[in-house]
Every structure is written in structure tokens, then in C-alpha cells.
Amino acid sequence: MSDAVLVAVISLAGTLLGTFGGILTSGKLTAYRIEQLEKKVEKHNSLVERTFILEEKMKVANHRINDLETARADSERRMPLPRPAKPKANAERMKI
């Protein structure tokens, strides 16, 4: 075998090893980045779910507050609260 052919075969082998090594490394890096993005998406989805639950609880709380305010207003219309007596004038309070 001539030296030129031997150098070409060695170069081919090095090129093939380098290419496949790069492909494997790139695949691992891509898989890692996808895994990290999936974790971020899961955190985001969890936050969205919790926000939805909180919004539902807020609706219920607001509804209950409105019901209580309506009930109070109705009871005040039926039976007004007693008003405090007016204070007596200073001259009347000073009498012994």
C-alpha cells in the first residue's frame, strides 16, 4: 500500500469517528435541553392550574360576600338599627 492511500484511510477513519462522536454529543445535548424545557413547562402548567383554582375560590368568596351584604341590607330594611341618642347640651351635663 502506498503512503497516500494509508494516509487517506486513516483520515477517513478519523473523520468518521469525529462525525459520529459529534452526532452523539449533539443528540445528548439536545435531549438534555428538551428535558430542561419539559421541567419548565411542567412548572408553568402547575402555576396555571393553581391560578385557576385560586380564581374559582375568589369567585366563590365574592359570591358569599355579596350574599352576606344582601342579607344584611334586607335585615336592615326590615328592622332598622337603633340610632344612638344625641348628647345633651353642656349646660345640662354640668348640673349637679
Please give the model's pTM, rounded to 2 decimal places. Answer: 0.53
Q: What is the pLDDT of residues 23-80, one digit of tens each?
A: 999 999 999 999 999 999 999 999 999 999 999 999 999 999 999 999 888 887 776 6
**Coil, helix or strand at residue 95:** coil
Residue 35 grid cell: 428535558
CA-CA-CA-CA torsion sign (25, 26, 27, 31): positive
pLDDT digits (tens, 9 = 90+) for 48-60: 999 999 999 999 9
Comparing C-alpha atoms, which of 81, 21, 3 is closest to residue 11? Answer: 3
pLDDT winner (highest mean) among 1-10, 36-45, 67-76, 81-90: 36-45
Listed by start position, the domains of the chain span 3-77
Q: Which residues in the chain belong to E strands, given as ranges? A: none
